[in-house]
Amino acid sequence: MRISIVQYDIVWEDKEANFDRIEKIISGSKAGSDIIILPEMFTTGFSMNAGSLAEEPGSLTSAWMSDLAVSSDAAVCGSYIVRERGLFFNRWIFVTPGGETYIYDKRHLFSMGGEDKVFSAGKERLVFSFRGIRIFPIVCYDLRFPVWSRNRDEYDLLICSANWPARRMLVWDTLLRARAIENQCFVAGSNRLGKDATGLEYTGGSIIYGASGEVLAGLPSEHEGLVEAEPDLAQLSDLRKKFPVMKDADDFTIKV
């Protein structure tokens, strides 16, 4: 299993420009990937202009992701703004080369940025399998809430697509590593670069952690490009057998 994260400066509210930027970065990779991970709101930046930017399910961005998945022979994932049933969602979508689609609507909306005033929160966790690896996605602010991510031997890879500002990068890195250690899983965190139209600055910090908190691969701050790694599922299985912390975990039910 080879994982790639695309880290770039998202062009504010310009979908076509962002499609082009992603494609150029991917074209520079010599090795093929199984999964290509994009940031949160990868077509627009973290915009609250949902009324003018939202898409119906299966339209422009979804079609572009499907085409890229086929041409790359890799699944493509990230979040963008979707309108459904008269509501707006910050929707993470995973599209495979075979045409399967998995969706997760961001559960924890960033109230300090007004996201909860525009978008509707998701109600369900998503766990699914692709090419032999079990995947659990979260979006940005979800990372701060460990109960939502608690692993009961359900998944092997946690993917976090984010727009995480530069001034809170210590928090970003600390929480990603913590989620990997406490859940005995691989964690892939995808973040953007640049400055958005609201003045927030981003320095990237996209990274892939192993289940003991070790860095498998990472990109330097301010560097546009790909971070790639090949998580070893056999090694993960061996760790879980030798140090089976999950059997001692507390039981609980998440109320939605």
Active-site positions? 40, 106, 140
Neighbours of 61 (CB within 10 A): 23
Tokens coding 70: 């086929």
The CA distance from 189 to 52, in Å, is 28
Nearest to 22 by CA among 86, 65, 85: 65
Pairing of strands 186-190, 193-195: unpaired
Q: How far is CA 119 from CA 1, 49, 54, 173, 208, in A?
A: 34, 10, 11, 26, 29
